[in-house]
Structure 1
Amino acid sequence: MFDEIEEQLRQILSDNMKIDKALVQKGSKLEDWGGDSLQFLETVFEIETHFGISFPDMQNEKISDFDGLVRIVKNAIEVSQNGTA
């Protein structure tokens, strides 16, 4: 079961990475979805725009799977709403 943020992320990833939404599951690895670094950067920009957030420290954070991406997005949303993580 996915929460609302996870479901929105699944849709964005599916649309931007041109993959079947069923491939975007908890624990799934980003490398399994194919695509290239430019495609991933465009997807990150779409995520930032959709949620009204930014990932200023993203270069320091290695994202290797869907769970890591969800964690980063949820933290960024919390920071944008509350000013703290």
Structure 2
Amino acid sequence: MDEITQAFRNVERTLATAGAGWAHVVHVNSYHVGGLPPEVNDVMVRLYRHYMPNHAPIWTQVGVAALGLPTMRIEIRVTAIVP
């Protein structure tokens, strides 16, 4: 589950680089190799609520066969609107 936590941190760093934060996020897509077993979903929900406690962007979770690298098990993509 450390990979999920790191993915959220990576998104946070990328948002900051663009002058944005989690409060600007309006849509989240998460892609999961191997589907969405309960323990993965539980971690995702906990981190989603941690990083976005005051709003709930649209969230789509998708189980996939593979991602960009063979070692990757999760990818998170967000859309943020910066005023």
TM-score scaled to structure 2, two decimals? 0.34
Structure number with higher helix proportion:
1
Higher RCO (CA-CA < 8 Å; seq separation 6+): 2
Structure number with higher strand proportion:
2
